[in-house]
A and B are shown apart, each in its own frame.
Chain A
Amino acid sequence: MEITVPLGPQHPALKEPANYIFKVDGEIVTECVINQGYNHRGIEKAFEARDYNSGLYLAERICGICSITHNTCMAQGVEELLGIVAPRKALLMRCLMGEAERVHSHLLLLGVAAHLMGFDTMFMYIWRDRELIMDILEEISGNRVNYCMNTVGGVRRDLSENAKKLIFDSLPILEERTKYYLHVAENEPTFLARTQGVGMLPKKVAKALCAVGPTARGSGVEADIRKTDPYAAYPEIPFDAIVDNGCDALARLKVRILELFESYKIMRYCVENWPKEGDIRVKAQKRVPAGEVVSKYEAPRGEDIFYIKSNGSDKPERIKVRAPTMANLPATEYMTIGGYLADLPITLGAIDPCFSCTDRVMIVKEKSEDVTVMEYDDLIRYAKKYYENPANRRRR
Chain B
Amino acid sequence: MDLILSTIAVIIFFVLFPGLVFIGSFGLFAEWFDRRIYARAQNRVGPRLAQPFYDFIKLMAKEELVPEKADKWMFNYLPVFMFAAVLTAYFMLPFGFFFYPIFGETIDFLSFEGDLVVFLYLMTIPTIGLFLIGWTSSSLYAVYGSTRTMSQLIAYEVPLLLAGLGPAVLAGTWRMAGIVQFFNENPAFLFVNVLGFLVALVALQAKLERIPFDIPEAETELAAGSLVEYSGRRYAMTRLVVDLEMVTGAAFISAIFLGGYDGTLYSIQIPAVAQFVIGALLFFLKTILVVFILSIIRATFARVRIDQMVAFSWKWLAPLAVVNLLISVFVKVVPGVL
Contacts and interface: CB of A to CB of B under 8 A. Distances in A.
Given A190-B304, A345-B220, A121 B299 contact: yes
A124 B221 contact: no
Contacts, number: 73
Contacts of B308: 193
Contacts of B2: none
B44 interface: yes
Contacts of B140: 3, 5-6
Interface stretch (B188-196, B207-215, B283-291, B328-336): B207-215
A125 B221 CA distance: 22
B122 interface: no
A342 interface: yes
Interface in A1-32: 3, 5-6, 11-13, 27
Interface in B165-215: 211-212, 214-215
B52 to A, nearest CB: 18
A113 B73 CA distance: 40
Interface residues of B, number: 25
A345 B221 contact: yes
Given A5-B140, A342-B306, A124 B44 contact: yes
B305 A13 contact: no
B220 A12 contact: yes
B274 interface: no
Contacts of A119: 211, 301-303
Contacts of A124: 42-44
Contacts of A190: 212, 301-304
Nearest to A343: B305
A326 to B, nearest CB: 24
A128 interface: yes
A345 B307 CA distance: 17
Contacts of B304: 190, 193-194
Given A341-B144, A342-B218, A121 B303 contact: no
Contacts of A122: 302
B223 interface: yes
A125 B302 CA distance: 14
A194 B303 CA distance: 8
Contacts of B223: 11-12
Given A13-B220, A120-B211, A128-B43, A114 B307 contact: no
Contacts of A203: none
Contact of A341 (B211, B214, B221, B301): B221
Contacts of A128: 43
B219 A193 contact: no
A118 B42 contact: no
Contacts of B306: 27, 342
Contact of B42 (A3, A121, A340): A121
B305 A193 contact: yes
B307 A115 contact: no
Contacts of B300: 121
Interface residues of A, number: 30
Contact of A118 (B44, B144, B303): B303
Interface in B30-72: 41-44
Interface in B258-288: none
Contacts of B305: 193-194, 340, 342-343
A323 B132 CA distance: 45
Nearest to B300: A121
B219 A12 contact: yes
A230 to B, nearest CB: 38
B319 to A, nearest CB: 18
B158 to A, nearest CB: 22
Interface string B7-18: 000000000000
Interface in A277-308: none
A249 to B, nearest CB: 12
Contacts of B299: 120-121
A188 interface: yes
Given A5-B140, A121-B299, A193-B304, A116 B43 contact: no
A194 to B, nearest CB: 5
Contacts of B212: 118, 190
B156 to A, nearest CB: 16
B292 to A, nearest CB: 16
Contact of A344 (B41, B221, B303): B221
Contacts of B307: 27, 340
Contacts of A116: 220
Interface string B120-157: 00000000000000000000100010000000000000
Contacts of A343: 305
A340 B215 CA distance: 13
A194 B211 CA distance: 13
B302 A118 contact: yes
A191 interface: yes
A117 B218 CA distance: 9
B139 to A, nearest CB: 11
7 contacts: A3-B140, A27-B306, A122-B302, A190-B212, A191-B302, A342-B215, A342-B221
Given A120-B42, A191-B302, 16 more contacts: A27-B306, A117-B302, A117-B303, A118-B212, A118-B214, A118-B220, A121-B299, A121-B300, A124-B42, A125-B43, A190-B302, A190-B303, A193-B304, A194-B305, A340-B307, A341-B144
Interface of A: 3, 5-6, 11-13, 27, 114-122, 124-125, 128, 188, 190-191, 193-194, 340-345
